[in-house]
Structure 1
């Protein structure tokens, strides 16, 4: 149960980010300041965790052999080539944040999170094209449910297409593509390294990417020491620090399938906060769409569990 709760809390943490960003925009802060402060705080928190992990493992190592060889072993465990790969793998998540947060300038919070969740079918499409493998029946059904739920949740059935800001929609869909690439890439890059070290180098790469695109002038012009520090801390804590740590704790114990199901809780949390905190109108039909999207995320795992059950308890002549 504690591992299920860990992943659930990680997903909920992701769900509150967009509301914080909208509030930061309301205070007059720009995209570079918001994302830059988030990654800077996340960078400090993650590397603090790395330092704590090193010190703890050093004490454990000394208590075992008393030779004090930990520092040499840790340095040799991760080459600079591996560190570069991890930093490169961290850039898509920074790009995702930039695209997603920029979409919030043009469209509602509830629509932006719906568009981001299109990473589910976009990832399937990218995987199918790269492996030249056609999706099976359950995956096609999943895609149909996801697209139908998206049309309802986005309000297309009620408002039509003419009322949408297509610049914001384009940014939202681009963030879904970027997030799909991050998921496909991140799990394959140096997977044997401790999650804390992987997170540290990946967030370093993401932060450097953002600082190149948006030079961090907020560090020297005094802007950081206003409300931006509070927004940056909340975004860094709930976006760059807690979810990776919580997922690292829970995912190995519950599996990727259950992680996908629990991860879908990000969607209703974001939509609910849009309605309660930002006072955006979310109709009953849109909530039905949200439920359909969550069902679409759950379908592949549910199908796997049903298949495993059927194989474990096959029908016999007596059953028939």
Structure 2
């Protein structure tokens, strides 16, 4: 149960971000300042965790725990090639954050999170093309449910497609593409390295890329010590630190399928907060769409469970 809760809380943390960003924009802060303080906070917290992990493993080693698998994994030296690979794997998170947060300037947060959730079928499409395999019937049904749920949740039937800003829609979809690439790359990037060190180097790569795109002048101008620090700390805590740590703890114990189901908790949390905190209008039809999107996320795992049970009965 504690591992299920761990992944659930991590997913819900992601759902908080869009509301915080909109509130920060309301105070007049720019995209570079918002994302910059988020990654700066995440960078500091990630390396503090890596340092704590190192000290903890060193104490275990000093007490005679040198033979443990955890110590061996944590104490294995990381080559510069591995560090560079991890930093490159962390780059898509910056791109995702930039285009997703920028989309919030043009479309409601409740719509932006729904567009981001299109990573579910985009990931399937990318992997199908790369493997040259057609999706199976369950996958196609899932994509159909997701597409229908997205149309409802976006409010197209309530307000019409012309109501929405084309640039905001494009940015929201680009964030989904970028997030899909992050999922694919992060899972393959040096899995043998301890999770604390992996996340630290990945966020380091993201932070360096952001510094190139948006030089962090807010650090030296004194702006950092305004309310920007408060918003940046919350974004770094709930976006760049808590979810990766909780996922690293819980996912190995509950499996990727269940993690995907629990990860869908991000969507209703984001829509709820946009409704209650930002006072965005969310109709009953849109809530039905949110439910369909969640069903689409759950369907593949339900099929696996049903198929597994039927095979067990046959045997």
Query: Structure 2 length normalisation: TM-score?
Result: 0.97
Please give the per-residue CA displacement for 1:179-232, whole angstroms capped at 9, x wherever unaligned: 000001111010011000000000000001111000000001111000000001
> Aligned pair in 2 of structure 1 residues 74, 286: CA closer, same or farther (>3 Å)?
closer
Distance (whole Å) between structure 1 residues aligned to residue 36 and residue 153 of structure 2: 31
Distance (whole Å) between structure 1 residues aligned to residue 211 and residue 100 of structure 2: 17
Query: Which residues of structure 2 form unaligned runs of 5+?
Result: none
Aligned to 1:250: 250
List, as ranges, runs of 4+ consecutive aligned residues in structure 1 with deviation greater than 3 Å: 73-76
Distance (whole Å) between structure 2 residues aligned to residue 28 and residue 228 of structure 1: 10
Aligned to 1:48: 48
Provide the secondary structure at the position in 1 that maps to 2:55.
helix
Please give the per-residue CA displacement for 1:94-149, whole angstroms capped at 9, x wherever unaligned: 11000100000000000000000000000000000000000000000000000000
- Give 1:139-218 correspondences, 5 Å limit: 139-218=139-218
How far off its partner does 1:159 sit? 1.2
Aligned to 1:11: 11
> Aligned pair in 2 of structure 1 residues 192, 34: CA closer, same or farther (>3 Å)?
same
Distance (whole Å) between structure 1 residues aligned to residue 196 and residue 170 of structure 2: 34
> Aligned pair in 2 of structure 1 residues 27, 58: CA closer, same or farther (>3 Å)?
same
Task: Kindly indicate whether residue 119 of structure 2 is the aligned counterpart of residue 125 of structure 1.
Answer: no
Provide the secondary structure at the position in 1 that maps to 2:148.
helix
Equivalent pairs counted in the alignment come to 311
Distance (whole Å) between structure 1 residues aligned to residue 193 and residue 167 of structure 2: 39
When the two chains are superposed, the root-mean-square deviation of aligned CA atoms in Å is: 1.6
Distance (whole Å) between structure 1 residues aligned to residue 76 and residue 180 of structure 2: 32
- Give 1:59-78 correspondences, 5 Å limit: 59-64=59-64, 77-78=77-78
Is residue 57–residue 74 contact of structure 2 (8 Å, CA) maintained in 1? no
Which structure has the larger Rg over C-alpha atoms? 1
Distance (whole Å) between structure 1 residues aligned to residue 218 and residue 154 of structure 2: 35
Distance (whole Å) between structure 2 residues aligned to residue 122 and residue 138 of structure 1: 16
Query: Structure 1 length normalisation: TM-score?
Result: 0.95
